[in-house]
Chain A
Amino acid sequence: ETGVTQSPTHLIKTRGQQVTLRCSSQSGHNTVSWYQQALGQGPQFIFQYYREEENGRGNFPPRFSGLQFPNYSSELNVNALELDDSALYLCASSLGTSGRTRWGEQYFGPGTRLTVT
């Protein structure tokens, strides 16, 4: 059982609204990555945060943004929600050095299921 937690578990929003998802990393981990998993697909990398700075970004528009806090917890913000944003949002924590994961373990949280209507 990992120590990565996410909130909320489920969320329903309307198109055009904004949403904030939260992630607490496993104790001792300094890197948080966010992934979007659409139904029937593998997770897609959104971005990674290391020491409170964005350290890599996938093919997602700027309306997807994030933060990492001094305790290494993180938020994912999505503005101007679209129907296609409906997905499971996963965060993963790991221990990195200079932004690259040096240790094998990448642990995922249970995810937040976002539905946009």
Chain B
Amino acid sequence: GEDVEQSLFLSVREGDSSVINCTYTDSSSTYLYWYKQEPGAGLQLLTYIFSNMDMKQDQRLTVLLNKKDKHLSLRIADTQTGDSAIYFCAVFNQAGTALIFGKGTTLSVSS
């Protein structure tokens, strides 16, 4: 079945760039997503990329997609303490009905 893998933790200093990586097994997803979850909260859609794109930039966020290697990354420029949260990568299943999520990467930003 479909699987999404992420590293569990990332620690950076305020002002540095953060790069969160994700690999997935099923390449049929039309869209690939990044969500942010703060403690006790729901999921906030950060950004998504269409599968025929290699890169998408949205203010401080850059998404890179390598379809050959089934690798998705999220770069956050000038990381702030408010960026501390759990970041989830998600892709659609083959039926296009369900999002398959990774376990999430906890980003810790120190000042």
Which A residues lie at the B interface, using CB under 8 A?
A: 2, 6, 33, 35, 40-45, 48, 55-56, 58, 88, 90, 92, 99-101, 104-111, 113
Contacts and interface: CB of A to CB of B under 8 A. Distances in A.
Contact of A45 (B35, B44, B99): B99
B50 A106 contact: no
Interface of B: 4, 30-31, 33, 35, 40-45, 48, 50, 88, 90, 92-93, 95-104
B103 A45 contact: no
Given A48-B97, A92-B43, A105-B45, 8 more contacts: A42-B90, A42-B103, A44-B101, A45-B97, A45-B99, A101-B31, A105-B48, A108-B42
A45 B97 CA distance: 9
Given A41-B103, A42-B102, A108 B97 contact: no
Contact of B45 (A44, A90, A108, A110): A108
